[in-house]
Amino acid sequence: MNIQKLDAELRQKTAAAVGQAFTKYRHREEAAPSPPGAAITFLGTGGNPEAVLSQIPRTAGFYLEIDGLRLYVDPGPGAVVRAQEAGIDLGMLDGIFVSHGHLDHYAGTEALIEGMCWGMYCRRGLLMAPGQILEREHLLSRYHQGRNSDLGYKGGPSVITLEAHQPIQLKGLTLTPIPVHHAGENYGFILDTGNLKVGYTSDTNYIQSYLTPTGIQDLSRKGPIMDLTEVVEYRRDIKDLFGQVDVLIANVTGHNIYANRHITTLGLAHLLQGSKVKLCFITHFNHCCLWPEDLRPAMATFVEHTSGTRTLYAKDGFSYDILANIT
């Protein structure tokens, strides 16, 4: 073997590969504008620890392309892998929205930031997250918040600390953070294009008390709700605000579990009754919704028949044309 020749070849090919990768990922061009319309891709539809650990369902959040805006929402563990599988070029993202500091919502964020900011060589894109994540618990590094440029990487996102009901302008659209009732600081949002309002509940409690055959029960219990006959007290702010949107993305977790801090499909049916919502996607499924039996079709049927609102259950890796589904 001619080891000198091998060495020379390796040096040449490595240098060429580094140059090609640099051009592809870092010193690159902006992508072409996205086509008009409104589409949502669910890179993952799972929530809570069993889904994180099993990836049934996946925990990677969702991606919106609406009127030219490319927005990634709640990238949980696996987000960068699922985005690659779906053929999403992270370098074209306009923004990343993180609702709260739970692993299934934020753990994929730093990798997405590196994609959005072209390997941290470019200052571009928005990171929108609660102050609890950014400043108080430092769940996202200073580097990925674009604050450590002394490391030699000058790139990073513009950072917006979410504040309740304070609108954010995004390429001509308006995103308004909606404070919700979960654990710590947490925001859903309403994204308004001028013609279409899309709501995202994130994780939130909805039912506060309910009627049972033996009287009114509050939600201090964390176990499954087995004896509800009707909802008594509920989060009126959640119903009032999200009841006004055209399309609602609702994190349900399950039909009747963890209702102390999740909507559940029991609560969602109540929220949608009498609302203006034309189309609802249910997502953020606990592992129990798919294993040992797939309960999602029945959950969607329950919500649709109880509320009268068209309801689809989101599936891992599936894209939906929003406008085609509401007309």
Round to whole Å and give the CA distance between 191 and 174: 6
Q: Minimum Å distance from CB 28 to Zn ion?
A: 35
Of all residues in this chain, which one has the CB nearest to Zn ion in the complex? Answer: 102
Q: Which is nearer to Zn ion, 203 or 246 (CB)?
A: 203
Residue type, 198: V
Round to whole Å and give the CA distance between 74 and 231: 29
Q: Minimum Å distance from CB 34 to Zn ion?
A: 29
Helix (H) or strand (E) holding 272: helix 264-272
Round to whole Å and give the CA distance between 264 and 222: 13
Q: Is position 262 an interface residue for Zn ion (rule: CB under 5 A)? A: no
Binding mask 115-154 for Zn ion (x = CB under 5 A): ----------------------------------------
Q: Is the dihedral of CA 136, 139, 141, 145 positive or negative?
A: negative
Q: Minimum Å distance from CB 186 to Zn ion?
A: 7
Question: Which parts of 213-242 interact with Zn ion (CB under 5 A)?
Answer: none
Nearest 5°: phi and psi at 37? Answer: 125, -170
Nearest 5°: phi and psi at 264? Answer: 65, 160
Angle at 40 between CA 37 and CA 41, to 5 degrees: 135
Please identify, among the stretches 63-71, 95-103, 218-226, 241-249, the one whose residues bind Zn ion according to the rule CB under 5 A: 95-103
Please identify, among the stretches 86-94, 98-106, 155-163, 187-195, the one whose residues bind Zn ion according to the rule CB under 5 A: 98-106
Q: Which is nearer to Zn ion, 145 or 186 (CB)?
A: 186
**Which residue from 74, 114, 203, 246 is in contact with Zn ion, where contact means CB under 5 A?**
203
Let me know if 2 is exposed, middle or buried by CB neighbors in 10 A (0-12, 13-18, 19+): exposed
Q: Minimum Å distance from CB 100 to Zn ion?
A: 6
Nearest 5°: phi and psi at 265? Answer: -75, -25
Q: Is position 185 an interface residue for Zn ion (rule: CB under 5 A)? A: no
Q: Minimum Å distance from CB 251 to Zn ion?
A: 8
Q: In the beta sheet, which residues pair with residue 319?
A: 41
Q: Minimum Å distance from CB 105 to Zn ion?
A: 6
Please identify, among the stretches 102-110, 128-136, 276-284, 318-326, the one whose residues bind Zn ion according to the rule CB under 5 A: 102-110
Please identify, among the stretches 22-30, 35-43, 63-71, 97-105, the one whose residues bind Zn ion according to the rule CB under 5 A: 97-105
Binding mask 47-86 for Zn ion (x = CB under 5 A): ----------------------------------------
**Which residue from 58, 70, 82, 102 is in contact with Zn ion, where contact means CB under 5 A?**
102
Angle at 237 between CA 227 and CA 65, to 5 degrees: 105
Q: In the beta sheet, which residues pair with residue 217?
A: 210
Number of residues that bind Zn ion (CB under 5 A): 2
Q: Minimum Å distance from CB 254 to Zn ion?
A: 13
Nearest 5°: phi and psi at 126? Answer: -110, 135
Q: Minimum Å distance from CB 222 to Zn ion?
A: 14
Instruction: With H, G, I as helix, E, B as strand and everything else as coil, classify residue 110.
Output: helix
Q: Read out DSSP for 172-193?
A: TEEEEEEE-SSSSS-EEEEEE-
Q: Which two tokens stand for residue 174?
A: 């308006």
- Residue ranges in contact with Zn ion by CB under 5 A: 102, 203
